Structure formats: C-alpha cells, structure tokens
Amino acid sequence: MSDIQDDKGARIAFQKITETLGLSLPADREQAIFEGYLGLRDMADGLRRPRTAASEPAGIFVPSTIGRED
Amino acid sequence: MGGVADSRSIAELGKALRDGTLTSVALTEETLDRVAALDGQIDSFITVTQDRALEDAARADRELKEGKDFGPMHGIPYGLKDIYDTAGIRTTCHSKLRLDNVPAADSVCATKLKDAGGVLIGKLATHEFAFGGPSFDLPFPPARNPWNPAHGPGGSSSGSGAAVAAGLLRTAMGSDTGGSIRGPAAYCGTIGIKPTYGRVSRRGVFPLSYTLDHCGPLTKTVEDAAITMQCIAGYDPLDPASADVPVPDFSAGLTAGVKGMKIGVLRSFYRDAEGVSDEAVAAIDAATGVLKDLGAEVEEVAAVSSFADYNNCGRVILLAEAYAIHEQDLQTRPLDYGRLTMERIVLGGYLTAADLMQAQRQRRELCEEVNSGLFSRYDVLIAASSLTPAPLIDAPQKSFPLNWPMQTLPFNVTGNPAMSIPIGFSRSGLPLSMQIAGKYFDEATVFQVGQAYENATEWHLRWPDMSVAAAASAA
C-alpha cells in the first residue's frame, strides 16, 4: 500500500477508491470516513503475515475439519 | 401500574398457566399495560402488536384448556428485534430505508416461537441495520437503559435488552454479529446467548455479515434462555449456514453444577485493554472466584493470540460483508441512512479482495487455536462481555471506534457459543457482566455453568425500579 505512506498519499488513494466505488460522500462526513479508512488500513495490514497451508479458509464452519492436519 | 416487574420466570408463569391461576390473556393484557405505561421511558418498542398479541393469547388459553400443550413457551409473551421478518407486520430495521417494508412471510424464528404457542407483543428497537447507533437521526428514537435512561442499553439488540431488563418481556430475540446480543445483555444486566454458528436459522432475518451473524435470545435468567433456545434451535435446509446436528435438551443439565469442570479465563483480552474499568475486572475476578468455590478448576489462559488478532480479523470480515449487502443503497441513497450507519458500513468498500482473504486465513487459524487448542483443555472459557458499564447514550461516538475492542467479537470469528451473564453492579448502579463461551454445539454446558453461578448469586433477582427511571428521565 505504497500510496498511503503519508497523509497526502492516503488522501489521494482514498479519493481514487471513493470514485471507483461510485460513491458520493457528503462533505460533512468525508473526514470521519477518511479517518476510518486509515484505521481500517492499519487493521487489514496487520493481517498480513506468513501462514501455512493450514490457514486455508475452506471448510471453516465444518466442525469435523477444524482440527485437521496440514 | 407498579414500577417493579413481575419476577416470575417463564417456567413459573407456565406452571400458573397450567394450574388455572393465570391465563395467557391476563398475562398479555398486563404486559401490554406495562408496555403502554413504561416504554416511553426507554423506547424499547418500535411496533406494539396488540391485536395479534391478544389473538395469540386467546388461542393459547383455548389450546391449553383443550389439552394441547406446545411446551414451556405456550402462552408466554415475547418480542422480536425489528430485523426479524414478521408476516403482515412491518419490519423496519430501525431505518428510513425500510419504513414501509411489510414482509409476506415470517422469519424461521418467528414461525418457531409462534408454533410453540408464544405471544408476540411487538417489534423491538435496534441500532439501524443492526450496526449504526445509538443514533438520534433515525425514524425512531434509540432505546435507553432501564437502570438509568441517561445511559445506552448497548446494541445492536438495544430494544431487546432494554425490554427484558425492564421486565416488559421475559424473552426477546436479538441478533449478534460482533456482540449485538451479549453487548446489550451486559449493559442491561440480562442473559444473552449467541449460540453456535449454524445452531439457529437466520432465514428471514436481515443480514449484517453472512458469516458472522447469529440469532439468539435475551432473557432475565439462564433457564429462560435455555427454554427459548429449545424453541428456536434446529436445522433449516434453506439457511445455507444451518448445521444438521442434533438439538439436546438445553435444560437437562442446568442443576448439574460445575464441580470438576475446567474453566479457562481469557484475562489477557481485557485486563490491560484501553479504557477498561477496574470495576469490570474486579467483578470478573470475583465471579470466577465463585465458580472456583463451587468446585471448578479455574485458571488464567496463557499463550493465545492477542485480542487484536481476533478484532482485526472480525472487523475486516464484518465490514466487507456488510458493504456487499448495502452497496447499491450506499451508491444511490446514502443520505437515507443514519450518519453512524453510513459512515461505518461504507468503509467495507475500501477493503481489497486480498484483505478479505487474509482475514479468512487468519480466521481459520483462530478457530484452530480456540477449538483444537483451548477447548481441548477447558470445558468453558470466561471473558469480559464489556470493558465498562453502559456509557451515556449521548456520549460522542467515532464512526469507526477502532480503539474500542468488542470483547464479544472473538466468538463471532470462531463461531463458538457464548453467553453474557450479569455479575454485579458498578458504583453508579449499572450492571457488570462476563461471558461464558463453550465448545461447538455445546450450549448446554454454557447454560450449566451460567446456572451454577446464578444459583450462587443474587444479581438476577434485582430489577430496575421504573418509577425511579421515570423520575431520572423527567429530570
């Protein structure tokens, strides 16, 4: 996410995505949504880490597969 | 009209209905009178279904008289969060977008409660679309906390928590995507159980997040929760997430106690969390002490993933799925949403496909950790339901309160059953609570532990004095 390494880059990325999504954000709500976007990016980036085949999401809700070996 | 509720449980009311000392019509009329007299203080109802309630009650009396007994819910009043479809009765999701929505068919839970002889009193307030609130820019006012109406009741099943805590209903259905049953239960001092994912059909309930949504009841006591769960649990082939597993008798083990049980406490999740109240931590410590005194082996759980791992994973999945559901309306009529709802749900659009897949991969690992790991060592887990007592209802809210960890979210991520139970009161007179989480499809053990705690304590015997609430509201 090199676009959001600084506030200006983040603002540009945010506006690009907003346009792509076809959204018209009310002016009085845009700042709050932008701040939420920054926080969400932090959360999503926190999910990126090395994982094994055992983390494949398939079958996640079938109890009998929960404990399978990778 | 007294300010203090009738304290009888569903089982006690059922006994009175069957020995002829009470009729469902009389119980329903008393309930409707109480709603009319008191709900103006807490705004827990959106729609009161008076005619339907009296018809249901008359039918229940007739059936019981004829010897047709449909079980413990027969003749008992209940309410539904206003995201549960009800045939011929508007279902608004507390939103301008669905003000005129009158479903043609009942949700599965509404059908099951009706078939069990329950009496529908009405549809209950919610945070808009089970997500945004408490808000003052919606078509209906937000529900308030019966213990002090200046405080919120939690959400999103806000009306369900408030109505049960106030004694307007013995049981009310809520929904739980990140804690929307257990949160209001915690703030209002009621029981609130999120069953195992797949245990209760979600068909006919407006979705927030497909893989995190659960349906379950809020009640005054553990036994009332077990009774309600017995009515609504079961396989539904038309709910893609429904599990075809046997439904046990949830009440059978209620008196079995906790002697010899192994209980793990997820203290690291809440002990040092930002904003946690000392009172909340002390109350959980005291409650686990009670379980230990009752014969359970209680120990702090070590070496689990951080709370942030669960939180990040759950929030990314929730927002991505919620955005997919609301995408078209957000593009075409964003201003018809309340401000908080719109500002929260729209964020899901800014996630990438890779973000969602990373969250799904993490979810898999967290499910492993809890189920192959923790639940191979413990019968149940204890955690906080909330970090503080209920905040003021008009306290400023961030649109996306990242710094406010939802202690309930981990068990939505993993799908395990989890129940909030009251464990005391703050110095300000507001309820404190904890969660009891169990193995997949083992709600019965969660109820067993909850009942043992309830039997040993008296928190569930307290009711808010609604005449005091009225005075506070007027001031």
Cα(B135)–Cα(B393) distance, integer angstroms:
9
| Digit-coded pLDDT (tens) for B94-141 | 999 999 999 999 999 999 999 999 999 999 999 999 997 899 999 999
Interface ipTM: 0.89
C-beta atoms of A36 and B315 within 8 A: no
Count the neighbouring beta carbons within 10 Å of the beta carbon of residue B428: 11
How far A6 CA lies from chain B's nearest CA (Å)? Answer: 17
Residue B55 corresponds to which amino acid? E
Cβ-contact A60, B367 below 8 angstroms: yes
How many Cβ pairs closer than 8 A exist between chain A and B?
A: 114
Q: Answer whether A43 sits within 8 Å of B344, measured CB to CB.
A: no
Using CB atoms, pick whichever of A22, A42, A47 lies closest to residue B331: A22
Cβ contact, residue pair B349, A14, below 8 Å: no
Residues of B in contact with A37 (CB under 8 A): 347, 350
User: Is B81 tagged catalytic?
Assistant: yes
| Residue-level length of chain A | 70
Give the pLDDT confidence of B388-429 residue by residue, as tens digits.
999 999 887 765 565 567 899 999 999 999 999 999 999 999
Whole-number Å distance between alpha carbons of B416 and B436? 10
- Report pLDDT for A3: 45
Pick the catalytic residue from B44, B107, B160, B180: B180
Distance between CA B81 and CA B42 in Å, rounded? Answer: 15
B65 is catalytic: no
Catalytic status, residue B7? no
Residue A2 is predicted with a pLDDT of 42
Residue of A19, A28, A47 to mutate, interface with B, max B Cβ within 10 Å: A47
User: What local confidence, expressed as pLDDT, does residue B467 receive?
Assistant: 75
pLDDT tens profile B159-189: 999 999 999 999 999 999 999 999 999 999 9
Round to whole Å and give the CA distance between A54 and B243. 23
Q: What is the pTM of this model?
A: 0.95
